Structure 1
Amino acid sequence: MYSSLFISHGAPNIILQDSLSKANIKSFARGLEKPKYIIIFSAHYVTNDLKIINYENNDLLYDFYGFEKELYEYEYEIKSDKSISLKIVKHLKENDINISIDNTRVNYDHGVWSCLSMMYDKLDIPVIQLSVPSSYTKEQLIDLGEKLAIFKDEALLIGSGGLTHNLSDMQVSDSIKTYAKNFNDEVINIINSGNQERLLEIAKTINYKQNHPRDEHFLPLFIIFGSAKNKKGKSFNSEFMYSNISMECFAFDLKD
């Protein structure tokens, strides 16, 4: 069985920088057994209902603005796979989860390729991207992860988002905002203990809204949490950027 990962992907230009997070993610990935394929959710692909990207003619989306010229010229080979995509669709439909191929979405957003390029210098396995369904409750996202867990015999499951994501309050500073640090520490405790009830409750707190004015960057964690066998995870990266952006990353079901 392969692991499930939640990765705080940060700003897209993290791939051009030397940072603790980039080094930790790359180092951690070296210790992972290579899967047959990757199933990934990104905070930058949100749809009302669950969808899977079209498996044909895949490439990169440069879905951001105001960054370095080199970032818009960055190349990274990444492809989906028809048979695997259809197998996932079939399995989820058989388990009463509605999903469809998104023919309007062919390419991978930066939440996918920036994350994976930190893990793998060269990617020679298929990457199957599913959307984050905004119509789902937190409980339904956990259930979706549980339904996908069967694929962990072959696949690495990844949720790409951010443990905190209040862009309007970030600053270039060495200090960490208290509300972000407290939230980060609370989630670490929840993941370490595998406490699903507390994870669901934290999404109802005022502190949650302060860290996630919009919650699309936190939602992939519920899916990944659901896919874990015993729900307990461990952090493999801890860093704050811009005073309130947590780069915390979690791994579930790591092999001893």
Structure 2
Amino acid sequence: MAMTMKDTFYISHGSPTLSIDESLPARHFLQSWKDKVFPQKPKSILAISAHWDTSFPSVNIVERNDTIYDFYGFPDPMYKLKYPAPGAPELALRVKELLTASGFKRVDEDRKRGLDHGAWVPLMLMYPEADVPVCQLSVQSKRDGNYHYNLGKALAPLRDEGVLIMGSGSATHNLRALGRNSGSAGGVVPWALEFDTWLKDALLQGRYEDVNQFQEKAPYAKMAHPWPDHFYPLHVAMGAAGETAKAKLIHHSWDLGSLSYASYQFTSAS
């Protein structure tokens, strides 16, 4: 009998320092993943990372994933970390097949790219043995929320094939505002708090269409996401779970005054 995955996930990976900073609550949340969140070991993982942004959907087709250090000016130990997870070529081709069948006319293949930090940093904490095959799927930041929701809908059959679908971004992501700790809620700036609260309420109430149209519906959307690349992985995870899926907030913490680590689980009704 095939292994099924009723759940999809959106993980806020925040800063690359999540890879080494023991003071971050989100790090401990991800380290408890297999014990407290998702004990079922997936057959493979499809990671939709904010840090792979292309004009058309792209999948990486490799036998072994290299570790990409796509960040600059951070402590030296971070550049020594490795996450040599196996690639998932069959999953990559299956993703391409599903997207093409759903009307996405062009899906590109990348046969050299490994895992960027939006994928390997959380996965290093979630599955430290690096023994689960991983395929990455890119986002298209010039498109909108509905587009990425439909991308996710096309991928829904993967849940019946033992694939863990994980979007990785940040619930709020304005790099120019980091460290400005004036505000309420333990130093969180008001605009970030208001956007983050709106998102939580919309998801838990099942107002997925509002989330798809967040740029028009959400307060301070442009402040929270000057560029939408870190938000669109949420739409993919949401779409893959289906319209009747129930959302659950599985972690919440803040860093640097405006960076939300809110992470969500979507449980399919079917």
Q: Same fold (TM over 0.5)?
A: yes
The letter for the 1-side match of 2:88 is D
CA distance in 2 between counterparts of 1:93 and 1:112 reads 24
Q: Shift of the alpha carbon at 1:172?
A: 6.5
Q: How does 1:165-176 map to 2 (within 5 A)?
A: 165-171=173-179, 173=181, 174-176=186-188
CA distance in 1 between counterparts of 2:98 and 2:131 reads 25
Matching residue within 221, 225, 244 for 1:212:
225
CA distance in 2 between counterparts of 1:70 and 1:54 reads 28
* Mapped contact 2:44–2:88 kept (Cα < 8 A): no
The letter for the 2-side match of 1:109 is D
* Mapped contact 2:248–2:264 kept (Cα < 8 A): yes
Matching residue within 171, 175, 179 for 2:191:
179
Matching residue within 106, 116, 119 for 1:109:
116
CA distance in 1 between counterparts of 2:261 and 2:34 reads 16
Q: Which SS does the other structure have where 1:107 is aligned?
A: coil
Aligned twin of 1:122: 129
Aligned twin of 2:13: 9
Matching residue within 20, 41, 45 for 2:25:
20
Is the alpha carbon distance of 1:29 and 1:51 closer, same or farther for their aligned partners in structure 2, counting shifts above 3 Å? same
Q: Shift of the alpha carbon at 1:180?
A: 0.3
The letter for the 2-side match of 1:168 is R
Q: Shift of the alpha carbon at 1:120?
A: 1.5
Q: Which SS does the other structure have where 2:230 is aligned?
A: coil
CA distance in 2 between counterparts of 1:166 and 1:133 reads 18
Aligned twin of 2:259: 245
Matching residue within 98, 103, 126 for 1:96:
103
Greater displacement, 114-123 / 241-250: 114-123
* Mapped contact 1:5–1:252 kept (Cα < 8 A): yes
CA distance in 2 between counterparts of 1:142 and 1:151 reads 15
Please give the per-residue CA displacement for 1:48-71, whole angstroms capped at 9, x wherever unaligned.
111101324521000111111100
Percent identical:
29
Greater displacement, 238-247 / 29-38: 29-38
* Mapped contact 1:56–1:106 kept (Cα < 8 A): no
Number of aligned residue pairs: 254
Q: Which SS does the other structure have where 1:123 is aligned?
A: coil
CA distance in 2 between counterparts of 1:254 and 1:141 reads 18
Please give the per-residue CA displacement for 1:103-136, whole angstroms capped at 9, x wherever unaligned.
4x42110000001012112121210101102343
CA distance in 1 between counterparts of 2:98 and 2:137 reads 14
Unmatched tracts of structure 2, length 5 or more: none
Aligned twin of 1:48: 55
Q: TM-score, normalised by structure 1?
A: 0.93
Aligned twin of 2:172: 164
Please give the per-residue CA displacement for 1:2-40, whole angstroms capped at 9, x wherever unaligned.
221100001111121112111112223324111100011
